[in-house]
Each structure stands twice: as structure tokens, then as C-alpha cells.
Structure 1
Amino acid sequence: MVIMISHTFCISDKMGDKIGEIVKKIIFCPFVQYPPLPLVPDLSDPAKFNGSGSPAFDLTNTTHLFITSPKDSTGSSRIGAWYFLPEKSSGRVEPLLETDTLILYLHGNSYNRSQSHRVGLYKHLIRQGFYVLAIDYRGFGDSSPVNLSEKTVVEDARAALGWISDKLGDKAKIIVWGHSLGSAICAHTVAEFDLETGGSSTVSGVILESPFNTMAQEILSFGLARMLSYLTDIPQLLEKSDLLFESEKWLPAIKCPVLILHAEDDIIVPFELGLKLEAEAREAGKNNIRFISFPKEERRGHNNIYLSDNLASAVKSFTELDCTSKK
């Protein structure tokens, strides 16, 4: 998530809106994908993105589907998704049991749900026996186009939770896992859900991978943005553009247990921002939170925590011991 913002000492509202749109494109980077064409990739056959190793993705354990999200002014409402079944399952999309655990995966900026490190994580989770639902927010992948904002991506995450309840029931443990920008979407989504339901939402646990505390702090972690920040009020610009992504605000409102995963050598979202997020949540009174760091010697960086030998035991301990009961 490389971000640069420029500004003049005094700009009109019109110019400010243009700058806000540029910042929005840089934060979300929906235009970054490989291959670059077609603009709407064909993600209907997950097996094409399987890569090497097991488990393989095919029609016996993977469903390509679309979820309906609230329509915007253009009628945009389609969310592309993959639903993965572990080997122990029946192979059918059917209600889950109390002994099952499903992970809703919310990816970060750029590319789509087929990016290699995301696929690597799905495979890791499937091998552990988890059900996995991976979505592309509107504006990404084969989902509908939309004018992206914090509001639209949170709407899409909530729509995915609604699909889980409607199609799979409310018996299974539901874990929401967000990576990078997805961690901020995750925190906002689950906190809002808990606030609306009085803490009795269907979410049993939250995993935040490589998270930051606020988008403003993430932007200011880049040298050029720091040099330019005296020319503009970055938090004000983000607020006007609906790009605040204030996880430090939302995390204390989440009732279920939270696990934070962060690599010490992360150069995209600095490790210190993850530590700051945990500290601020604890100061606000949230105690059911754990932080697991991955030493710089492991070289896991921003995207490769899924390759760590320690990840499986960390996730198993969290889902089986911390997330022991539904609220």
C-alpha cells in the first residue's frame, strides 16, 4: 500500500475532491492486477489459480458464486466469491454444524482473491479443516464496479456475513480474517455488527493480519507523505473522502476475541503500527486480544505470514481455545 499525497497551500473544494479521488485510487489500487487484461478477470474456475501443491481447487471442494450487496446509484450489487470446503466436508454447500469453523477472508488492496499469497493462505486453512469464504469487494475482481469507499467495502463484508447466515446457518464458529487494508475493513465491519446487535452478532473471533491503527498513520509512515503532510490536513482529507479506516476506534467495540498477526520486517504496514493498535485497544479496555509477532529472521514481510511454521498452531489455539463459545 504505497501512498503519496500532494497539495497546495490553498485549494478549492473542487480541487480537493479531485485530490481525494486520486488518494482513493492509490489506497484501494483496484486497477493493479496480473495479468492486467481483461479488466474483469474470469475467476469462475478457481482451479486455474491453484498453483502447485495440495489441496487442489476443483468443483468437488470449491464453489464460485456471487453475493448480493446493497445497490449504489449505478445499481452495482454483485460480489464475486469463492467458497472452499475442507476434505472432511460432504462436498455440498449446506448448513454447517457447531463443530465446524468458517473463515471469512477479507483481502487488502490491489489484485483480487486469486493473488498467489491469498491462494496460499486458503490452502493452508483448508488443510487445517476450515471452511473458507473469500470475497472480492465491489470494484475488484469479477465483482460489480463501484465508487470505492470505506462505506462500500464494509457493506460488502456485511453482505458476506449475511450470506453465511442465510446459506450456512448460525451454528458454526465464524471467524473474520482481514489482511492489511482488509484488517481495517474487518475491524469496522465486526464492530458495527456488534454495536447493532448489542454484542450478539454471529462472529466468534477476529484475526487481523498486518494491521495498522489508522489510515492517516499508515500514510504518514511513508517518507514522502511525511514531507508533504505540512501542506495539507491528511485526516481531514481522508474523512471527506470516506477513507478514515480507524481500527483504533473500532477494535475496542468488538466483543469477540481478537488475534493480531504481524511480521517484524513488514515494510508496507510497519510492525509498530500493529503494536500501537493493540496497545490502544487494551487502553480502551479490550482484554481478549492476543498479539503474535513473526521475527524478522523469518522474512515473512507483508504477505507471507502464511508460510510460517508457527501459523497453524497459532490459529488452532485461537479458534479452539479463545473462541470457545458463540455470544
Structure 2
Amino acid sequence: MRTGGTQEMIKIALGLAALYALICIAVYFGNRVLMYFPDPSRVPPAEAGLDGVEEVELAADNGVTLVAWHAPAREGKNTILYFHGNAANAANRAHKIETMRQDGSGVFYLNNRSYGGSDGRPTEANNVADAIAAYNYLVGRGVPPERIVAFGESLGSGQAVRLAGERPVAAVVLEAPLTSTIDVARSTYFWLPLSLLITDRYDNARNISGVTAPLLILHGAHDRVIPVEMGKRLFAAANEPKRLEIFPQGDHSDLLDHGAWEKARAFLSTLR
């Protein structure tokens, strides 16, 4: 009986180990499916209620065409180079774009690959390369680097941080930024070796050291997607000059309702 029981326990242990290995394999090969939730709908800016906003196409690597919305800045104003989160596109951020334009600022909203009519598939490497392509497009259109503000929302904070570490910008604004995708996933999948499984890490906690432009971090105290502690950790790791604004009633996607853009506008006004 004792031998039979031991063999049964070994079988159970081997079965659990095999199941664990299968889960790890599935996460490794499928982690991007769990990270990106693209809405491919291509909606003209006018249909989203925006006047004076141009839809433009950018040629990216490997023949990929990216779709972006561009509202040119008034003379002497900054252009917000906007990188979105994992489930947004330009159309469902139309109100936000309009809010940013109210003082004459320009906005260049890049739809990442598979989002908003853009071709291709999103990966960290692709998204960072496309962020630089969008930056180069603006510079080529006559927008000086000292008038470009890298704005990253949620997962898009990774693009903004990497861009600002490689190109000169006027400032960086991060809305609900993460320290890394591994840190976000760890709160739920703590029992998996995530550092070995997640391919797109967006390691802002490491990359923020390369940012020397003025930095503003906006975060909601009740953020249920990316905890406010991550914004605080990122702020602590960042170079000066920097500012952290925490919204006591804010969640993840409602910071504009709590005055976030007013804070951002005031911050940007100090740069002149």
C-alpha cells in the first residue's frame, strides 16, 4: 500500500509539473495576446467630432503603414506626441485630443500597429521604432525638438520613455505609467517565472534613467490597473527636474476628469 501510494503521489507530482510547464509555454508564446487588445477600426477625425485634425499615413519598417492623427500647433506652442495604452485608439481618445488642443497645442496621436487602421502587429521593438518614426515625421514637418512633448498613456509610457532617452524632447508626461509589464503581471501571476516568459517588458524603471528632459507623472490613487505605487517608484528613479501629481479620487482612465490636463498644462507652461 505504501509503495502504491508513493507511486500515485509521484504521478500526481509529474502531472502537475507537466501542467505547469504547459502553462509556461503557453504564456511565453501567447503573452502578447494578453498584453495588446487592438481596436483596428479606422475612423476619420471628422467622424469622431474633431475639426482641424488631419489623418496622415507613415511608412514604417517592412512596408507597414501607420495611421496617425495630426492637429498642428499654433505658432509658439508645443506638439503633444501621444502614445496610447493597450486598448485605445485615436477615435476613442477624441475628447482627450480635443482637450489637449484647447490652448493651441498640437497633437500627434500615433495608432500603434493593429490599432486604428495601422498595419502590422504590435511588439515592444516595433512600437519603439514607430515612436521614433513619428518623431522624425514631426521634425521633418518643421516641428523643432524643443517643441515636442512625449506623452505616454499607460503602456504607451514605455514608448515615451524610450523615445525621450534616444531623442531630444521638450518634456515627458506619463499618465498612469507602469514600472514594467513584468511588475504588472506579477500581481496576478506571481506563481510564474515571468522574467523568463514575458517578451515585451517596457522596463520603465530601468529606462527612465536615460531621460533628462523635464518629467511629469500623473497617477490616480485608486488605479486598479497600474497601482499608484508604480508611478511613485518611477518618480523616485527619475532624474530631475521632475514632478509627481497624484489624484486622490482618480482611477486608471479618468484622470482628465480630475484635472490631470490642467496640471499638465501648468507644468508645460513653466518650460518656456
TMscore range, shorter length? 0.7 to 0.9
What is the one-letter code of the residue matched to 2:48? F
How many aligned positions are there? Answer: 255
Q: 2:89 is aligned with what amino acid?
A: N
Matched, 1:121 2:121: no
The answer to whether structure 1 residue 257 and structure 2 residue 234 are counterparts is no
Would you say 1:235 and 2:195 are equivalent positions? Answer: yes
Query: Highest Rg: 1 or 2?
Result: 2
Q: What residue number does 1:103 align with?
A: 80
Matched, 1:206 2:172: yes
Instruction: Determine helix, strand or coil for the equivalent of 1:132.
Output: strand
Aligned partners of 1:221 and 1:270 also within 8 Å: no
Aligned to 1:289: 242
**Aligned counterparts of 2:143 and 2:175: Cα–Cα separation in 1:** 26
How much does 1:263 deviate?
Answer: 0.7
Post-superposition offset of 1:10: 3.7
Residue 168 of structure 1: SS of its match in structure 2?
A: coil
TM-score, length of structure 2 as denominator length: 0.87
Q: Which residue of 2 aligns with 1:173?
A: 147
Tell me which residue corresponds to 1:41. Answer: 41
Query: How far does the alpha carbon of each residue in 1:197-220 deviate from its partner, in whole angstroms, 9 at most, with x for none?
Result: xxxx2x110000001111111112
CA apart distance, 1:19: 2.8
**Distance (whole Å) between structure 2 residues aligned to residue 22 and residue 272 of structure 1:** 27
CA distance in structure 1 between the aligned counterparts of 2:246 and 2:102, rounded to whole angstroms: 23
Shift of 1:244: 1.2
Larger RCO (CA within 8 A; separation ≥ 6): 1
- 1:275 counterpart = 2:266: no
Aligned residue runs from structure 1 range 25-36, under 5 A: 25-30=33-38, 33=39
Q: Pick from 307, 316, 321: which aligns with 2:265?
A: 316
Structure 2 Cα separation of the partners of residues 160 and 204 of structure 1: 15
Partner of 2:114: 139
In structure 1, how many angstroms separate the alpha carbons of the residues matched to 2:21 and 2:42? Answer: 45
For residues 251 and 81 of structure 2, the distance between their equivalents in structure 1, rounded to whole angstroms, comes to 22
CA contact (8 A) 1:81 1:133 kept: yes
Q: Percent sequence identity over matched residues?
A: 22
Change (3 A) 1:221 1:183: same
1:21 to 1:171, Cα distance in 2 relative to 1, 3 A: closer
Compute the displacement of 1:127 (Å).
0.7
Kept in 2: contact 1:179–1:209 (CA 8 A): yes
Cα deviation code 1:207-238 (max 9, x no counterpart)? 0000111111111233xx23xx2xx3101112
- Paired residue secondary structure (2:98): helix
Q: Distance in 2 between matches of 1:26 and 1:10?
A: 18
- Structure 2 gap segments, 5+ residues each: 1-17
Counterpart contact for 1:100–1:172, Cα < 8 Å: no
Name the TM-score, length of structure 1 as normaliser: 0.73
Q: Residue 11 of structure 1: CA displacement?
A: 5.3
1:7-18 to structure 2, matched below 5 A, reads 8-10=19-21, 16=25, 18=26
Query: Corresponding residue for 1:63?
Result: 54
| Residue 140 to residue 63, structure 1, CA distance change in 2 (3 Å) | same
Partner of 1:319, secondary structure, is helix
Instruction: Please say which of residues 165-174 and 132-141 is displaced more in the overlay.
Output: 165-174
Once the two structures are superposed, residues 162-217 of structure 1 have per-residue CA deviations (whole angstroms, 9 ceiling, x without a partner) of: 000001332651101000000122112221x14xxxxxx2x110000001111111
Query: C-alpha separation between the residues in 2 aligned to 1:288 and 1:210?
Result: 19
Q: Which stretches in structure 1 are left out of the alignment for 5+ residues?
A: 1-6, 34-39, 51-56, 90-96, 195-200
Could you say which residue in structure 2 is the equivalent of 1:244?
Answer: 201
Instruction: Measure, in 2, the Cα distance between the counterparts of 1:217 and 1:181.
Output: 12
